[in-house]
Amino acid sequence: MKNWFAQLAGLVMVTALTLTSCEKDETQVTLNPTNSPTFSASTNTVVLQQANSAQNAITFTWTPVNYSWGNASSSAVVPTVQYAAEIDKKGNNFARPVTVTLGTGTTTTSTLTVEALNQSLNTLGLPNGVATDVDVRLKAYVAANTPTYSPTVTLKATPYKVCIAPTTDKWSIIGPAGVDWSTDVPLTYDCDTKTYVLTRTLNAGEFKFRKNNDWAGNLGGDGAGDKLKVDGANIAVATAGMYTISLNLAGATPTYSLTKK
């Protein structure tokens, strides 16, 4: 019996030594960046407007970051590098940045639309219609806890308040005062005044309002000042020049204004 216990104790000791030896022999493998990225923007001033939401606002360009294994003997494949832009209020030291995905792998450029950039600036809480400095930097990483950052680029950005029309209907003017009786010139909904507006150069001539580019929804003058009615009279522009047209549909009777700038 004593001999059996002695053999068991010896086996436990050998196993413990073996495990300890394995732990000591284990090699820590890490991924390390081999270069720092450069980062630049196509402009340092952006004035954003909702009417241009689908257009390009800014393009970022950078040099790719390469990674290598810390253990030279490792032959494992390096994971794909992810790139993102971090945007924060100037001087905030990226304490609470907004992150925008830019690309992966060998990608070296990315363009943000007006809408995408404006959404990021709104998330930061920047004042609408006011030029405000923001800091932007590139974040490159193969794992969430191993980022590499570029130097900071400063932008002066003017965001807008997102304005959504009360309906999906689109309003325009049509007629030779704008272009001709076959071409609609769209109006934009103004959330502050709750009207559809257009500022542009008009010709001396006539126009009417039209809904969804359809004559079934046209509005013209009713002979009583600024009031409108369906299939009403053509509205005359006496002299060519820069005008602001406003269409108000909020009341019981639609009205309009035509103001020369």
Question: Is residue 237 one of the residues assigned to a domain?
Answer: yes
pLDDT tens readout for residues 165-208: 899 999 999 999 999 999 999 999 988 899 999 999 999 999 99
Q: Do 45 and 95 belong to one domain?
A: yes
Q: Do 140 and 187 belong to one domain?
A: no
| Concatenated DSSP letters of the chain | -HHHHHHHHHHHHHHHHHHHHHHHH-----EEESSPPPEEES-SEEE--GGGTTSEEEEEEEPPPPEEESSTT--PPPPPPEEEEEEEETTSTTSS-EEEEEEETT--EEEEEHHHHHHHHHHHTPPTTS-EEEEEEEEEESSTT--EEPPPEEEEEE-------SSS--EEEESTTTS-TT-EEE-EEETTTTEEEEEEEE-SEEEEEEETTEEEEEEEE-SSTTBEEET-BPEEE-S-EEEEEEEE-SSSS-EEEEEE-
Of 15-29, 43-57, 137-151, 216-230, the least confident: 15-29
Q: Do 145 and 56 belong to one domain?
A: yes
Q: Is 167 exposed, middle or buried (0-12, 13-18, 19+ CB in 10 A)?
A: exposed
pLDDT tier at 155, thresholds 50, 70, 90: very high
Looking up residue 235, the CATH number of its domain turns out to be 2.60.40
Q: Do 135 and 201 belong to one domain?
A: no
pLDDT at residue 235 tops 80: yes
Q: Do 154 and 175 belong to one domain?
A: no
Question: Is residue 212 one of the residues assigned to a domain?
Answer: yes
Question: Is residue 250 one of the residues assigned to a domain?
Answer: yes
Question: Is residue 14 one of the residues assigned to a domain?
Answer: no
Question: Is residue 17 one of the residues assigned to a domain?
Answer: no
Looking at the DSSP bridge assignments, the partners of residue 31 are 69
Q: Do 145 and 238 belong to one domain?
A: no
Question: Is residue 165 one of the residues assigned to a domain?
Answer: no
∠ CA 99-104-106 to the nearest 5 degrees?
A: 135
pLDDT tens readout for residues 65-105: 988 877 655 556 778 999 999 999 999 999 999 999 999 99
Strand pairing report for 148-149 and 98-104: unpaired
Question: Is residue 54 one of the residues assigned to a domain?
Answer: yes
Structurally, how many domains does the chain consist of?
2
Structure tokens at 202: 């008009």
Q: Do 140 and 74 belong to one domain?
A: yes
Nearest to 163 by CA among 194, 142, 137, 134: 194
- What local confidence, expressed as pLDDT, does residue 26 receive? 56
pLDDT tier at 2, thresholds 50, 70, 90: very low
pLDDT tier at 163, thresholds 50, 70, 90: confident
pLDDT tier at 28, thresholds 50, 70, 90: low
Q: Which domain holds residue 252?
A: 171-260
